[in-house]
Structure 1
Amino acid sequence: MLLLLLLAACESSSPPDAPAQPDSAAAEPQNSHQRMVRELEAIRNQARIENVYFEDASLAETRLMLSGLDPHAPPGLRLNLLVELADASRRLGKNSDAVDALLEIHRLLQDSGIALSEKQQLALLYETALTWLRLGESENCVNCRTGDSCILPIRPGGVHQYPRGSREAMKVFLQLLEIDPDNFSARWLLNVAAMTLGEYPDSVPTEFRVAPERLMSSTEFPRFHDVAQGVGLKTINCGGGAVAEDFDNDGLIDILTSSWDPGGQIHLFRNRGDGTFEDCTEAAGLIGILGGINIVQGDFDNDGWTDVCVVRGAWLGNAGQYPNSLLRNVNGRGFEDVTFAVGLGSERFPTATAAWGDYDLDGDLDLFAGNESGPCRLYRNDGGQSFTDVASEAGVENERFTKGAVWGDVDGDGRPDLFVSNLGADNRLYRNLGNGRFEDVASQSGVTSPQWSFPTWFWDVNNDGALDLYVGSYQVGIEHIAREYFGLEREAECDGLYLGDGHGGFRDVAAEYGLTGVTQPMGANFGDLDNDGYPDFYLGTGYPMYDGLMPNLMFHNRDGTAFDNVSYAGGFAHLQKGHGIAFADLDNDGDQDVFIQMGGAYPGDAFGDVLFENPGFERHWLRLKLVGRTSNRSAIGTRIRVTVSAPDGSRTIYHSVGSGGSFGCNPLTAQIGIGEAERIDLLEIEWPASGDRQSFEAISADQFLEIEEHADAYHVRQMPRFTFRSES
């Protein structure tokens, strides 16, 4: 009762072909932009009627039917309407109304003598407790948010000022557990409710209590603090994408966010360089560019200004046949939607992911679009003026429920290969054959799992020069998370971590590296928190249902040999649903801060974005902006090798230029930690299209360098350091 099917969209694996749209490849960019705005407005209006997540017509209709119901109508009819009212109210964030409807259901059942089965009774209690808990979240974490809100273990600053919601939730969860003491989901949420009241662990009966040590990191780690509110990042949205990038080429990293809500406005926050951000959405011409579960950046026309692809329609099956967008950056002044002008607007598929890469090494970025319930698309870039779909002849249509896609040269032949993660089916590793075609070698390479894959990326986890692969498992259910907190055996699959051998082979080392837990990630990305030269990673967790309350997870790389969960010690264990993630030095102090776009699937599960400020580790770094000339201007796919001297000897650090994971984008400017070294002995750069290799020696640490392909020298960019501060 009151539960929506999580992956109803997955049930239709063979939908009809996406409807073709009139070809507008010759349209002027401005006409393309206006056309997209009109279409997105129509989608927004239609979603309010038909979209199972966002429609509000049924709520008004149910209220009307209840108000006009004959007092002598059968109790069962009133009961059904109250169930619909509670469900719709909570979905739309009207939590007080949802609570009232549920309380009325309890009264009606008592007065009418309608008997529920034990299963129905437990479901009603669970949903009642959950709705009370959500009321407490909205009254406190959303409307009275502090830097400690919703971060486990909850500190005094995050304790609810308005305790009624969580207190009532605890009462109902305890009622449920009297009947079903082995309901681990209810046990976990009971503990969460107690934490929000500042009464954990004492107020939780011993037999239902999560041991406090389960909420502690096994290693010390400095605490990062959420400063989003103070620096001007104040939007509240449903889940969506995030890109951290210097969109106006001033050397400062800006932030672009999206929301999967069909009526959710894309937002551009310009970094002012004084510790605050300015919402420049209107000035950038983005008003009316709506929706977008994911966004990814790349300079498709090689004009030196970074553009953005927006993908839409994921999780909705045939109902998600929305257009994607290509936003052209107009000299740093703003964006225009050129989707129709470049020939990308002729099809509609539900799309969750996209990835830029120069697969044919002709010097411009091609685009892979990962569709969920239709063939994937590989759009060949024809000189920055138009795109041609070549997926069929290239052999990369996938025809599975695509959730993530990343490019990387896994076999060292200089050509970018393509990994595609699939939900509920084997993953694909498409080896680039160099003749415009690809071969799926996932089985031979040993990377078909997990079976419920979602976010993914290539990285060099142990600095051996060979690309490794991370694949997150999205086998959802709060019961899987709860079982781990109570020390029970895992019943869901864990994430995949594959070490590459540099020749196309991989070995699963997840257990060896300590990644044996259930994570259920959506948004995810990696970066180097402590500038030690080894990549760490952050997982935004959760799923659409309201009981998907679990901490987001940060893992620190221990010298390339294992990962430590530092979520609790570092202040990263946020309970709200995490989506697009970006690691970026947003205050120019030499270390990477962490931005995460927050919010769930329903309007009632919206939340504000989070910016974790890096407290600093007193280690050294090098920042590189690479400018392609023969290769793509963004330098995506360029390999960087940094050799430094350390007290324990020489070491080499490897980096590939890209935006990181498949759900959230780091800046294309490379930020490389070099540990205790005070200079770079040798910097080597290998460009993808030209094969050109550059090398530079004896470079002082802690500098921002700009290097052009084929150049004999580098340019030092002087950038002021500043401190995050509150808006005046």
Structure 2
Amino acid sequence: MPQMLSPSKNNSKPPSSRRDTRYVHLSILLLTSMVAVQDQAPAPWFTDIGEAAGFSFSHVSGARGEYWFPEIMGGGVGLLDYDGDGLLDIYCVQSGYLPDAEGNQPDSPPNQLFRNLGIDQETGLPHFEDVTELVGVGDTKYGMGVACGDYDRDGDMDLFVTNVGVNVLYRNEGPDKQGVVRFKDITKNSGTEDVRWATSAAFLDVDGDRDLDLYVVNNLLWHASTETACFNYFSERDYCSPNNYNAASPDALFIKGRTRFQDWTPTSGLDAAFGNGLGVAPADYDQDGKVDIYVANDATPNNLWHNKGRGKYIDKGLLLGCAVNGNGTPEAGMGVQWVDVDQDGDLDLFMTHLRRETNTFYMNRRGRFTDKTNATGMNATSLKYTGFGMGFHDYDLDGHLDLYVVNGAVQAWRQEEIFAEDPYAEPNHLFRGMGGIRFETIANGGETEHTAGTSRGAAFGDLDNDGDVDVVYVDRDGRAKLLLNNATGHWIGFRMLDKRGDEVPGAMIGVTHGGKTIWRLADPAYSYLASNDPRAHFGLGASDEIEAISVRWPSSKIEEFAPLASGAYHVLREGHGLDHK
């Protein structure tokens, strides 16, 4: 600590000169301190490497000044290992141009698939190449989101793309004679054809037969002829609220049969309640061995579809306290995730919302939910922004969950602190976990510099297999970003397989180290318009010693596995552990 300056006992200078000299000394000390602080400034959590890594996707909304509602909501992104080489590839969903009232649609740019080539020896960064045309996944309809999963259980990942209009199911055909993995559009014969405006989707096993079924979230019954003129706070023409349309559309559930999917929606009871759906997250929240489904609706109550068995559902959102906020008000739900924030072994809920609503955290207490947003420390920060894609992960590997949220307005608010040509642009947020359910905001979203955009879909996964979670997100009418995580520390990760050796979504993994157990859900279906790394990832903090590993499989069976080495991804297979006693 700098010593205080005192006047000299033998002064020959007038008081004013002594004061000037003191100010000079103080200035030097302050400048030195500032330089020292800058030298010791923490390294950024993330670095945008998209352009350097060959990841070059630019989103096109097709906005033409008529403010058609779907233009402000896309696009999505998915992470999947489509070629089975152990590296996550990136699939970006393009919007393009909406058909007019007569059904005429201008030519649109395609969706794009970027193959992960691994670490480039010159740059030291993961590198990607566009293989869209080569593998055949360049749909050009007005795209929204994507779900990734091995629905036909042949060992490779398939793609389901949601659109404003007919959705698309791409089946992974595996490598051809030249060794090139190719996809086939099987939509017509799949049983999944639907002409409504779909947003998010998820592969899940509804009936416990170990085949993957498909849940599709629908927003509203939109057509160019249904549009009307709406105006924002500044009396300028802008995008309408979904409530202006009064045309919410039921979601769809497709059950996998022997050769095709069957529309199970009327039989399941899912058409008994519905809203303007945007986000979806499946999970067995009550640990009864049956997968439940949470749907985030825009300006209408959310749905918690409780699985009664045999493909039957009942909405328990209002009954269990997670359909509206703590004040009893429906909010504009976008992104959603099941996650054990308070580390008590059950799954809590988090949702992103509209400006002036805050994002919302619902704490799970024995199957009932309480709005605990104010206790997280994130409410004030999120109040000014509109959140979309989001993901809880331990980004800095300190043993505590952190949260990354991408933001972007749906009406032009002209926020003074944002200097961007895009009137909908907002900065993204990184919240560092402090332990328990408390978080603090990290400047610039964890980057050295952060450029605000109108961010929508966001996907999370370890793209370079170095043990930390990276972020990919799409900016409306902008360049998609790839944020490489710069963390170093102890970690462990798991790939979950069922008895047949197929990747299984919905397993809960508990890792005990340092005398406490951390729980993670292994499921790619969360965030907004996104599909994520299916592996479970754990930061371990200061200790790298694993004491125990527990798995609660989707069947509700619990197994114990021997401790495994940290610093690696491991495969856990159902039936290969010890039964929990």
Q: Same fold (TM over 0.5)?
A: yes
Residues 1:227 and 2:49 aligned together: yes
CA distance in 1, matches of 2:567, 2:548: 15
Matches within 5 A, 1:155-170: none
TM-fit CA distance, 1:543: 3.2
Q: Corresponding residue for 1:266?
A: 111
Matches within 5 A, 1:655-674: 655-659=520-524, 660-674=526-540
Deviations 1:195-238 (A, max 9, x none): xxxxxxxxxxxxxxxxxxxxxxxx97734221111000112113
- Give the RMSD, CA atoms, in angstroms: 2.1
Q: Corresponding residue for 1:372?
A: 219
CA distance in 1, matches of 2:436, 2:261: 40
Alignment-mate amino acid for residue 211 of structure 2 = D
Q: Corresponding residue for 2:6?
A: none
Corresponding residue SS for 1:673: strand
Alignment-mate amino acid for residue 372 of structure 2 = V
Deviations 1:263-290 (A, max 9, x none): 2311111111122111111211224454
CA distance in 1, matches of 2:529, 2:145: 6
TM-fit CA distance, 1:500: 0.6
CA distance in 2, matches of 1:524, 1:693: 29
Gaps of 5+ in 2: 1-40, 61-73, 98-107, 120-125, 176-180, 221-248, 325-329, 413-421
Q: Corresponding residue for 2:569?
A: 704
Matches within 5 A, 1:335-350: 335-345=183-193, 347-350=194-197
Gaps of 5+ in 1: 1-218, 314-321, 476-491, 600-605, 714-728
CA distance in 2, matches of 1:310, 1:569: 29
| Higher fraction of strand | 2
CA distance in 2, matches of 1:709, 1:669: 15
TM-fit CA distance, 1:370: 1.1
Corresponding residue SS for 2:266: helix
Change in 2 beyond 3 A, CA 1:330/1:535: farther
Change in 2 beyond 3 A, CA 1:607/1:568: same
8 Å CA contact 1:355–1:662 kept in 2: the answer is no
8 Å CA contact 1:220–1:569 kept in 2: the answer is no
Corresponding residue SS for 1:236: coil
Residues 1:610 and 2:481 aligned together: yes
Q: Corresponding residue for 2:496?
A: 626
Matches within 5 A, 1:221-300: 222-238=44-60, 239-262=74-97, 263-274=108-119, 275-300=126-151
Matches within 5 A, 1:87-486: 222-238=44-60, 239-262=74-97, 263-274=108-119, 275-313=126-164, 322-331=165-174, 333-345=181-193, 347-373=194-220, 374-383=249-258, 385-397=259-271, 398-449=273-324, 450-475=330-355
Q: What TM-score results when the alignment is normalised by the length of structure 2?
A: 0.74
Q: Corresponding residue for 2:386?
A: 520
Q: Aligned match of 2:553 in 670, 677, 687? A: 687
Q: Aligned match of 2:446 in 565, 570, 575? A: 570
Residues 1:596 and 2:442 aligned together: no
CA distance in 1, matches of 2:198, 2:139: 20
TM-fit CA distance, 1:244: 1.6
8 Å CA contact 2:96–2:140 kept in 1: the answer is no
Corresponding residue SS for 1:698: coil
CA distance in 2, matches of 1:396, 1:547: 38
Q: Corresponding residue for 1:547?
A: 423
Residues 1:635 and 2:509 aligned together: no
TM-fit CA distance, 1:670: 2.0
8 Å CA contact 1:622–1:702 kept in 2: the answer is yes
CA distance in 2, matches of 1:370, 1:236: 25
CA distance in 1, matches of 2:188, 2:527: 27
8 Å CA contact 1:512–1:562 kept in 2: the answer is yes
8 Å CA contact 2:77–2:92 kept in 1: the answer is yes
CA distance in 1, matches of 2:173, 2:127: 24
CA distance in 1, matches of 2:493, 2:182: 25
Alignment-mate amino acid for residue 404 of structure 1 = G
Change in 2 beyond 3 A, CA 1:415/1:534: farther
8 Å CA contact 1:285–1:336 kept in 2: the answer is yes
Change in 2 beyond 3 A, CA 1:621/1:708: same
TM-fit CA distance, 1:692: 4.0
CA distance in 1, matches of 2:200, 2:58: 22
CA distance in 2, matches of 1:619, 1:305: 32
Change in 2 beyond 3 A, CA 1:692/1:411: closer
Change in 2 beyond 3 A, CA 1:287/1:568: closer
8 Å CA contact 2:141–2:163 kept in 1: the answer is no
CA distance in 2, matches of 1:623, 1:693: 18
8 Å CA contact 2:191–2:263 kept in 1: the answer is no
TM-fit CA distance, 1:462: 1.7
Deviations 1:440-491 (A, max 9, x none): 111121112242222111111121111000121125xxxxxxxxxxxxxxxx
Alignment-mate amino acid for residue 437 of structure 1 = K
TM-fit CA distance, 1:416: 1.2
Deviations 1:356-381 (A, max 9, x none): 21121110111111111222111111
**Deviates most, 269-278 or 677-686:** 677-686
Change in 2 beyond 3 A, CA 1:389/1:288: closer
8 Å CA contact 2:215–2:254 kept in 1: the answer is yes
8 Å CA contact 1:456–1:470 kept in 2: the answer is yes
8 Å CA contact 1:428–1:448 kept in 2: the answer is yes
Q: Aligned match of 1:504 in 359, 362, 367? A: 367
8 Å CA contact 2:457–2:527 kept in 1: the answer is no
Alignment-mate amino acid for residue 90 of structure 2 = I
8 Å CA contact 2:427–2:445 kept in 1: the answer is no
Q: What TM-score results when the alignment is normalised by the length of structure 1?
A: 0.60
TM-fit CA distance, 1:509: 0.9
% identical equivalent positions: 29
TM-fit CA distance, 1:658: 0.7
Report how many aligned residue pairs link the two structures: 455
